[in-house]
Structure 1
Amino acid sequence: MGEDKKIYGFDFPTFFNLIDNMYDEIYITDNNYKLLYVNKACARHYGATQDEMIGKTSLDFSREEWWGPSFLTPMYEDKKAYGARQTLANGMEVLTIAIPIFDKDNNIEYVIMNVRDDVKEIDLYNDQIDSEFSIGSTQSNKYIFKSKAMKKIYSLATKISKVDATCIITGETGVGKTHLANHMHLSSPRKDKPFIPVNCASLPSELIESELFGYAKGAFTGASHSGKKGLVSMADGGTLLLDEISELPLSAQAKILHMVQEKEFIPVGETTPVKVDVRIIAATNKSLKSLVELGHFREDLYYRLNVVELYIPPLRKRTEDIPHLVSHFLSEFSDKYNTNRQISDRALEVLLRHEWRGNIRELRHVIERLVLTSDTVVIGLNQLPISMFSIEGQAEQHDEDDEDFSFDEKTSAYEGYLIRKAYEKYKTSRKVAEHLQLSQTRASKLIRKYVKN
């Protein structure tokens, strides 16, 4: 097609460029499953370039588990449009709609697919195709991962979510225990009922039982005259997450044990038991077994809850998840703040080296800060927080990988660290110059480079 050909007012190169830069992925195959075209959205979905994908077949991608489930074969057989929710290798859930294009003999000549992420509750053409790897369809419970460890955990979590067995989710603060519990709820037969997360550590000790189980009117001084429905009752029919369950006092643990075993409880100030149908998921960042040995956690409750234990490893133990999380958070906050931010390869390398003691929660906050404070589309080394360049621990931890950075990059990063730290403390170029023993002209130049750029 010549470049002077017009398509609804666009010349062909312009029209093609528009399709190439759509947010939704456009994916076109021939009648032999061969990929003829995919737009630039493939980088977000698969971490691969167009050149790396075009020419391969959809069967190749399915065998390599780039996504699942695959429905091209039945679509070719049925000769009709198909749609399904699929889960990509990085854990992202997408909605894929495939439309067959027929030749003059009514045979499929091409298939064009639209692949959309961040899907909400969208009706599908054929909702009988489901994915056992689904991890939820809303922004609030989306969990992004690529590591084998997390795939294994989510596969097991999805499997046990189909039954009402109690379980304990363990892992450091910020790894996503609540997200996993929410995923289990949404994958369970209880998904249309409430999911009630309770942070046990945040409940005042004197009010724990009344908050959990409710109370009768006038049960104690200051109680509501109409009484109060407890969190357990609010979760009736659904799922109750007891996060940081290790913080519950032994008296409350006894009542929890009774409620789990007998499916009933007695509100504060009442004498009649209340029946309840609720699934219990516990979560903790401590070793409950050690607390049992110390006498701080009931042994019978521990064994009653610990039918299945799901351990989420810290982010520093599964660094292959970090690039996908960074990409996801950049997209999330770019949309939220109506901007567009990407990250340089060198800056990403620094994020990969960071220990992330706060895990995914810490990474999410760092990315939000970078999106808000960066004045350039591409976030570089010089814009990373000072904490990313902490000398204590970081240098020793990553000495072996120092060859990944050139001498100039190392010195520039450290120079930026010194300037930003001094400017945060002294606020003026004159005082920064005095502190670092520089000329004010040079200090001003470096502040423009590392702070105000």
Structure 2
Amino acid sequence: MERGIMRNSAIIPWNLHPSEFQRLIDSMYDEVLIYDNQYTIVYINDACSRHYGYQPEQMIGKSFFEFVDGNCWDISVLPVIYEKKKTYAVKQKTKLGSELLTIAVPIFDSQKNLAYVIMNVRDNLSGVKLFNPDYIYRKSSLSYSTVPMCKSREMEQVIQFAERISQVDVTCILTGESGTGKTMVARYIHSISPRNARPFISLNCASIPNELVESELFGYIKGAFTGANTQGKKGLFEAASGGTLLLDEIAELSLSTQAKLLHVLQDHEFIPIGGSSPVKVDVRIIAATNKNLRQMVADGQFREDLFYRLNVVEIYLPPLRKRKADIPDLIQQFLKEFNEKYNLSRSLDSHALETLVNYEWKGNVRELRHMIERLVVTVTGDLITTGHLPQNMTGSTDTGTAREVPKITDYHTRMQNFEEAMIREAYQKCGSSRKMAAYLNISQTKANRLIQKYLLGNGSKKDIAVHPAGAEDLLQ
């Protein structure tokens, strides 16, 4: 295949002939490797023979994945570039024993879509400060993942157990309160399992109406019912074939769907809706729930046979308040994530960090993540202090508008003061007009009017601007 993109005269400097420019790039000591936006190698120079034992003609035009199984390198940062669209570096080892430093840079077209990834690869690593990426791509793996935070003894045990069962193709169930990270652990199990080259698909069973769950799981054939896709639809079991299917909130499945799920687990086959022939499937099932399934079995709300079929291995994720040692690292991880997302540089002072670590976090990791995002986007200035935290975290009752309150006997004034206190308390707890409307059982229009009246009076936002709970309305 011709090394076409290097012959584009638009990138040829000065008066160099394209062939001469090509010769110079080919002669570079450092490897130059370019992928398009579909993992295809469109150019590599002669240094590849020193690093991998291939000639350029043997690599150009082929897919990245053809060389993963060929054991060219132990890890690659390429999938991270496609996802993050940022420059990263990674340290690699090749099958020929070379130690490489690869710097990968995304190149965008005029519509800001990723067009190419260009890599500069060098041998000599002495004196080079390496970036340690959160995500790595390992050979024979089509998924990349982060090891869940596990500074606490409790989470260390969870992760160690997850790593052991990841190598055994056994059905398991993840239990624990909402927001503890069950989906993250499921992804981690898949990413280090022998199935990691195949899809990981997650379905939240509570997010889909009961009448649609079966079509999502098992699919349907052409003309199976009124309104069905004219071409039929492949179900998630079939889409996840060879990989892993996470059934989150599995307690929400109807008893009839539970019966069909049990059949798939036992016989490894199912019949699509409207079909007559069974479809064989090879899928590892991981279930997750925050409900007490044993009690649901006792109450007749969950099939006992399905429970025991799923519960071959149970992994319990403790709530965040029981593993406070994980909180500082989680905070730093979320700060980094949202600073990058919003192009900011927020940080926490030691007192604010201590307050967050000691908070109960009834919403667990999910609540912590949302809180850090709110702080990042609502606080002015780069340093987040305890003054920026919600009053329920700090124990403060000061609303920022302290003043001497005269004795009031007028009925209408007293009622207005009561309403203002109620609205402030409700908004602080709920964080948005939509949630506050549901909390108070009023319309969102009325909730917005009350927020404007009591919290944004005279067009000022000073009363709530420092409170993360106000992020959703302030950003509308």
Q: Are the counterparts in 2 of residues 370 and 383 from structure 1 also a CA contact under 8 Å?
A: yes
Q: CA deviation at 1:148?
A: 1.0
Alignment of 1:240-389 (within 5 A): 240-389=245-394
Partner of 1:215: 220
Cα 1:367/1:277, change in 2 over 3 Å: same
| 1:349-378 deviation line (CA, Å, top 9, x unaligned) | 221222211111111111011111111211
1:194-214 CA-to-partner distances (Å, cap 9, x unmatched) read: 111011111211122111101
Partner of 2:234, secondary structure, is coil
Q: Is 1:231 paired with 2:236?
A: yes
1:209–1:428 Cα change, 3 Å: closer
The answer for unaligned runs of 5 or more in structure 1 is 1-74, 84-96, 102-110, 129-135, 392-412, 433-443
8 Å CA contact retained: 2:222, 2:230 = yes
Distance 2:175 2:242 in 1: 24
Matched-pair contact (CA < 8 Å) for 1:167–1:305 = yes
Aligned to 1:394: none
Q: State the distance in 2 between where 1:272 and 1:114 align.
A: 55
Deviation for aligned residue 1:230: 0.8
User: What amino acid does structure 2 have at the position aligned with 1:343?
Assistant: L
Answer yes or no: is 1:116 the counterpart of 2:132. yes
Deviations 1:110-168 (A, max 9, x none): x87635233443x8xxx89xxxxxxx854xx5532311111111111111111210000
CA shift for structure 1 position 223: 1.8
Please state how far the C-alpha of 1:98 moved relative to its aligned partner: 12
> Residues 395-443 of structure 1, C-alpha deviation per residue, up to 9 Å, x if partnerless?
xxxxxxxxxxxxxxxxxx54356669599763468999xxxxxxxxxxx
- Tell me if structure 1 keeps the 8 A contact 2:455–2:464: no
Paired with 1:369 and 1:449, the residues of 2 have a C-alpha distance of: 11
Of 419-428 and 181-190, deviating more is 419-428
Letter aligned with residue 253 of structure 2: L
What is the rounded CA distance, in whole Å, between the counterparts of 2:162 and 2:314 in structure 1?
A: 10
Question: For the structure 1 residues 276 and 113, does the alpha-carbon distance in structure 2 shift closer, same or farther, using more than 3 Å as the test?
Answer: same
Tell me the distance in 2 between the aligned counterparts of 1:450 and 1:358. 21
**What CA distance in whole angstroms lies between the structure 2 residues aligned with 1:284 and 1:430?**
47
SS in 2 for 1:283: strand
Following superposition, the deviation at residue 267 of structure 1 comes to 0.9
Q: Which amino acid aligns with 2:134?
A: D
2:181 aligns to what? 176
Q: CA separation of 1:430/1:214 partners in 2, compared to 1, >3 Å: closer, same or farther?
A: closer
Whether the 8 Å contact between 2:218 and 2:271 is mirrored in structure 1 is yes
Q: Cα 1:375–1:229, aligned 2, differ >3 Å: closer, same or farther?
A: same
Which of 368, 392, 398 lines up with 1:415 in the alignment?
398
Q: Per-residue deviation at 1:284?
A: 0.3
Q: Distance in 1 between matches of 2:465 and 2:135?
A: 40
| Counterpart amino acid of residue 356 in structure 2 | L
Task: Choose which of 426, 434, 441 in structure 1 pairs with 2:454.
Answer: 426
Contact 1:244 1:283 in 2 (8 A): yes
| Residues 1:187 and 2:187 are matched in the alignment | no
Q: Contact conserved, 1:429 with 1:447, CA < 8 A, in 2?
A: no
1:149 aligns with 2:154: yes
What SS is found at the alignment partner of 1:116? coil
Q: Partner letter of residue 173 of structure 2?
A: I
CA distance in 1, matches of 2:465, 2:259: 61
Structure 2 Cα separation of the partners of residues 112 and 449 of structure 1:
44
Q: Identity across aligned pairs (percent)?
A: 50
Check the 8 A contact 1:80/1:99 in 2, yes or no: no
Q: TM-score when scaled to structure 2? A: 0.58
CA contact (8 A) 1:382 1:416 kept: no
- 1:265 to partner: Cα distance: 0.5
Describe the shift of the 1:81–1:379 C-alpha distance in structure 2 as closer, same or farther (beyond 3 A).
Answer: same
Whether the 8 Å CA contact 1:82–1:99 is kept in 2: the answer is yes
Give the letter for the 1:329 counterpart. F
Give the direction of change, closer, same or farther, for the CA distance of 1:267–1:187 in structure 2 (3 Å limit).
same
1:339, distance to aligned residue in structure 2 (A): 1.1
Q: Distance in 1 between matches of 2:162 and 2:390?
A: 35
In structure 2, the CA distance between the partners of 1:271 and 1:429, relative to structure 1 (3 Å rule), is closer
CA contact (8 A) 1:145 1:324 kept: no
Residues in 2 aligned to 1:166 and 1:449: alpha-carbon distance in whole angstroms: 48
Q: Give 1:388 shift.
A: 2.4
Q: CA deviation at 1:295?
A: 1.1
Q: Once the 2 structures are TM-superposed, how far is the Cα of residue 312 of structure 1 from its aligned partner?
A: 0.4
SS of residue matched to 1:286: coil
The alpha-carbon distance between structure 1 residues 248 and 447, as it changes in their structure 2 partners (threshold 3 A), is: closer
Q: CA deviation at 1:218?
A: 1.6
Shift of 1:224: 2.1
Q: Distance in 2 between matches of 1:430 and 1:347?
A: 31
Q: Rate the CA distance shift 1:174–1:417 in 2: closer, same or farther, 3 A.
A: farther
Local SS of the residue matching 2:314: strand
| Partner residue in 1 for 2:172 | 167
Distance 1:288 1:355, change over 3 A: same
What is the match of residue 208 of structure 2?
A: 203
Change (3 A) 1:353 1:416: farther
The 8 Å contact of residues 237 and 278 in structure 1, kept in 2 or not, is answered as yes
Q: Answer yes or no: is the 8 Å Cα contact 1:215–1:269 preserved in 2.
A: yes
- Cα distance in 2 for partners of 1:308, 1:286 equals 16
Q: Would the aligned equivalents of 1:217 and 1:224 in 2 still touch at CA under 8 Å?
A: yes
Structure-1 separation of matches of 2:226 and 2:147 = 43
| CA deviation vs aligned residue, 1:261-319 (integer Å, no higher than 9, x gap) | 11100111112111001000000001111111111111111111111100000111111
Do the aligned partners of residues 215 and 352 (structure 1) sit closer, same or farther apart at CA in structure 2, a change above 3 Å counting?
Answer: same
Amino acid at match of 1:166: T
